[in-house]
Amino acid sequence: MQLIIALARKEFLHLRRDPRLIAFILLMPLILVTLFGFALKLEPENVKMAYVDEDQSVFSNLIKTNIWSEGYFDLYEVENSMEILNEIRLGRARAGLYIPRTFTAELVENQQPVVSMFIDGTMPSLATAMDNNSTAITDDSVTTDMYFSDPEEPAQIIADDPFLLEIKTLFNPDKIETWFFLPGVIGILIMQVALILTSTTVVRERENNTLEQLLVSPLTRSQFIVGKVAPYILISLLDFYAILGFSWMVFDLPQPGSHGVLLLLAITYLTALISMGLAISTISETQQQAIFISIFVLIPSILLSGFIFPIEAMPGYIQPVAYIIPFTYFVDIIRAILLKGNVLSELIMQFLALAAFSILFISFSIFRFRKTLT
Amino acid sequence: MIVIQTSHLSRKFNDVMAVEDLNLEINEGEIFGLLGPNASGKSTTIRMLAGIIQPSGGSARILGMHLGKQTEQIKPDIGYVAQHFSLYSDLTVSENLEFYAGLYRVDNAQTLHKQLSRFELHRYAKSIAGHLSGGYQRRLAIACATVHNPKVIFLDEPTAGIDPVTRKDLWDLFYELVSDRKTLFVTTHYMEEAKRCNRLGFLSQGKLITSGQPDEILASLDNYRVYSAELPYHPATNRKIVAATGVILVNQFGNELRIVTDHRTSQENLESVISAGIDTKLKLEQVAPGIEDAFMVLTQDDGKKCS
């Protein structure tokens, strides 16, 4: 027993000598639980819905007004029905509504006009929620005033519903969860490998005293950083395609519209991750700290990126956090190219964001990595 | 030709002066030994000269180039062997050597091969560096640090923790390097190694106490006498000797007692102090001072030390 206490006591002494580690052990869970407690909701409010109302009648207004008053969808008008699809494809809207020109005409004739609703199927949970909330379009408060009877004839039984709602799920029509999860999971696996591998790489040289020997050599700071980054980009790239290849074979994941764009995504995403890992390595004093910081980065990246929990479901003040996470852009791009068939020109902003991360983290690492000790 | 020149070189860590006002001149083709106890500032000095710690005061020139302003130009011409094993212990001997060769743009297979045989490492070329004995790890470290044929080589305690036979082998290597007109800057706390250096500097608490050739330093001890006697450790008597006027240092080596004194006392005086303590007549013998005597006397502050 005494021996166990002696050993246990020594472990506490080690911890006490590493105040940063104590901070990570105590503060990290607190920060994360606060963040997630406020941020994570599966059910968003104000889901963006692009609409075209060609009818522009009292009746079509009834539908829109009810959607507004229910508050789940946030309606905005676009030019034509093609625009609706485009808005969803570009991720600006999650849903769309199309009311045809003949709506009122058919309504008064009891011909059951068709109203179309479009749903983005790339996030199945959200798609299902939108599906459930489509009742805002068809519920009684809308339809009560839409029943017409012929004044010449005695009251007749008319169709159950004055109009029909046709829901079309786009991009992942069967709402296959695997298609939704898998691209993100690939990103997470790669993030884990890349971050842990790189975040320990500089600090390991320091811990093993090998950094000193590198510092006396003519190696420049930039050469050091690039030499450290390059091999891990290559390794993670191989890893990325291995996982992706497996997913194509086993899980029937859709092929991208362009393999070039996919490769570009892999390279920019991995460069951003590895630069981030390197930046972590330059601020860590021990390998243990580096791994802790990596995990500290990893968990919020997964949860706040819109991968599982829609960003629009987060409170407004937390949403900006999602946009400082490289993984957010990765998930966005990979879903766009695998499921929605977006082309490069539509994804420029996301690619630029990823490139900006790389530049930022690499510059930071070069700045942090001094060619002298202490 | 002066290869290393420092002028008032200093380094302060927080409030502690690790190295203070250091003035050195080291010539081409010599082995300069910086001697000092632990924490005397040896490593800080050598790291400043190797360009990996910035001085907080003073300046230094290496091969005529200004340290600090021209550090990157100096780097290809210097080699540095850190105090602790600072190679990749999971790589093999030749992988380590190839890596460092690459850092200095040396890609000649023949050079690498020569380097391996010069340091007698060819037999271990495929061995994992971390599995080598301490002596061979040191050889590998020196081989890596000199693979680019530097003009100046800094060695921070290269023989610390090494057995005497291996230590001799290492020194043979140092002499071989010097015969190639290389300049070696060595730190050590082994006094017996001091005589192997062409010139010495004594460092104590960050200050250079004296420097010169070993003989010159010993000659500066003219005012001191060193006595030796066959006498086992006798605490009470030792205390009495330490307390006697003129006694600078009392040092026990097994059954040998060594006493360093200045002019204020004489052999007869000492003999009577000792004889009174042990109740027997004892004959002291005057001996030539060694480097260790010199070091201990010169680094002594006001109080006397009994070790």
Three state DSSP letters for chain A: CHHHHHHHHHHHHHHHCCHHHHHHHHHHHHHHHHHHHHHCCCCCCCEEEEEEECCCCHHHHHHHHHHHHHCCEEEEECCCHHHHHHHHHCCCCCEEEEECCCHHHHHHCCCCCEEEEEEECCCHHHHHHHHHCCHHHHCHHHHHHHCCCCCCCCCCCCCCCCCEEEEEEECCCCCCHHHHHHHHHHHHHHHHHHHHHHHCHHHHHHHCCHHHHHHCCCCCHHHHHHHHHHHHHHHHHHHHHHHHHHHHHHHCCCCCCCHHHHHHHHHHHHHHHHHHHHHHHHHCCCHHHHHHHHHHHHHHHHHHCCCCCCHHHCCCCCHHHHCCCHHHHHHHHHHHHHHHCCCHHHCHHHHHHHHHHHHHHHHHHHHHCCCCCC
Q: Which amino acid is at A82?
A: M
> Which of B52, B75, B83, B88 has the highest number of chain A CBs within 10 A, making it the mutation to test binding with A?
B52
Question: Kindly report the CA angle at A351 between A345 and A353, in degrees rounded to 5?
Answer: 130
Q: A65 vs A75, A93, B259, CA distance in Å? A: 10, 19, 107
- The predicted structure's pLDDT at residue A374: 58
pLDDT mean over A102-113: 80
Min Cα–Cα distance to chain B from A221, Å: 11
Rounded average pLDDT over A122-132: 76
Instruction: Say which of A210, A219, A220 has its CB closest to residue B86.
Output: A210
Structure confidence at residue B116 (pLDDT): 93
Q: Length of chain A, please?
A: 374
**pLDDT of res. B20:** 92
Mean pLDDT for chain A?
84
How big is the A-B interface in CB pairs under 8 Å?
Answer: 55
What are the phi and psi torsion angles at B60 (to 5°)? -150, 150
Contacts of A371 in chain B (CB under 8 A): 51-52, 71
Mean pLDDT comparison of A178-182, A251-255, B143-147, highest-scoring range: B143-147
| pLDDT score of B49 | 94
Confidence of residue A254 (pLDDT cuts 50, 70, 90): confident
Q: Do A218 and B100 touch (CB under 8 A)?
A: no
What residues of chain A lie within 8 A of the CB of B54, using their CB?
372
Hey, of A206, A208, A216, A369, which one would you mutate to test binding to chain B, going by the most B CBs within 10 A of its CB? A216
CB contact under 8 A, A373 and B72: no
Please, which pLDDT band fits residue A175 given cuts at 50, 70 and 90?
low
Nearest-CB residue to B53 (from A219, A220, A374): A374
Measured between alpha carbons, how far is A281 from A77 in angstroms, rounded to an integer?
Answer: 49
Q: Report the C-alpha gap between B255 and B185 in whole angstroms.
A: 36
Give the global pTM: 0.78
Dihedral angle sign, alpha carbons of residues B111, B114, B119, B125: positive
Buried (b) or exposed (e) across A330-367, using 16+ Cβ within 10 A? bbbbbbbbbbbebeeebbeebbebbeebbeebbebbbe
Mean pLDDT throughout A99-105? Answer: 85
User: How much is the CA Rg of chain A, to the nearest whole Å?
Assistant: 27
Question: Cβ A372–B85 below 8 Å, yes or no?
Answer: no
B120 DSSP 8-state letter: T
pLDDT band (50, 70, 90) for residue A371: low
**Cβ B47–A214 below 8 Å, yes or no?**
no
Nearest CA in chain B to A371: B52
% of chain A surpassing 70 pLDDT: 91
Q: Which residues pair with B117 in a beta bridge?
A: none
> A372 vs B72: CB contact, 8 Å cut-off?
no
Flag whether pLDDT at A106 surpasses 60: yes
CB contact under 8 A, A218 and B144: no
Q: Can you give the pLDDT at residue B141?
A: 93
> Which pLDDT tens digit goes with each residue over A55-90?
888 888 888 888 787 778 888 888 888 888 888 888
Query: Can you read off the two tokens belonging to residue B177?
Result: 């390097």
Closest residue to B50, CB basis, from A208, A216, A220 = A216
Query: Could you tell me which chain A residue has the CA closest to the CA of B72?
Result: A218
Which letter does DSSP use for residue B75 in this model? G
Query: Is residue A145's pLDDT more than 80?
Result: no
The amino acid at B285: E
Nearest to B51 among A213, A216, A219 (CB): A216
Q: Which among B53, B75, B104 has CB closest to A373?
A: B53
Per-residue pLDDT, B265 = 84
Q: Do B87 and A372 touch (CB under 8 A)?
A: no
pLDDT, mean of residues A120-149:
73
Please choose, from the candidates A46, A57, A99, the residue with its C-alpha nearest in 3D space to the C-alpha of residue A77: A99
Averaged pLDDT for residues A123-139: 75
pLDDT at A228: 86
Which residues does A8 contact at the CB level (< 8 Å), separation at least 6? none
Residue ranges in chain B modelled with pLDDT below 70: 301-307
The pLDDT, as a whole number, for residue B104 is 92
- For residue A34, the model assigns a pLDDT of 85
